[in-house]
Structure 1
Amino acid sequence: MTGQSARAPQPFPWEAVLRLALGVLGWSPESFWRATPRELAAALDGRFGRLTPPAGRTSLDRLMAAYPDIAATRKPS
């Protein structure tokens, strides 16, 4: 990533997401844990409207660099 400052990966904001799902959307804990990230995003979009555009290739590349798959870092046997 040339020309960009590297940022340390941040932990997932579980408390904020739980507050939104349980408090704002009124979901039960069971509904939250059964929902997929896409379902949660759709519910939030329905409640607030789309807040950000969908991620493009550049954003995906940044996420993949920040959170690499563990299997991808292992050497084949």
Structure 2
Amino acid sequence: MSEFAQAAARLAGQAGVVFGWTPDVFWAATPDELSTLVRALAGDEVAPPDRAAIARMMETFPDG
């Protein structure tokens, strides 16, 4: 198994234990999503999304 594969497997396992993520959720997540959770867990301040980010999310994921 490659060094990358070993590191990815460890990180997937840790995400499962700490965040309750299944492997499918881990592999579907973006690095930013994982980073945000890790920083929040570490007590680092996570800035809320600004208006432009919220508008992009609303456009990408409409309610109806």
TM-score with structure 2 setting the length? 0.50
Where 2:21 maps in the other structure, the secondary structure is coil
- Greater helix fraction, Structure 1 or Structure 2: 2
Equivalent residue number for residue 26 of structure 2? 32
**Greater RCO (CA < 8 Å, at least 6 residues apart):** 1
Gaps of 5+ in 2: 45-64
Moved over 4 A (4+): none
Structure 1 position 20 matched with structure 2 position 18: no
Given the alignment of the two structures, is residue 46 of structure 1 paired with residue 44 of structure 2, yes or no? Answer: no
Q: State the shift of 1:16 in Å.
A: 2.1
Number of matched pairs:
41
**TM-score normalised to structure 1 length:** 0.43
RMSD: 2.0
Is the radius of gyration larger for structure 1 or structure 2?
A: 1
What is the identity percentage for the equivalent residue pairs of Structure 1 and Structure 2?
35
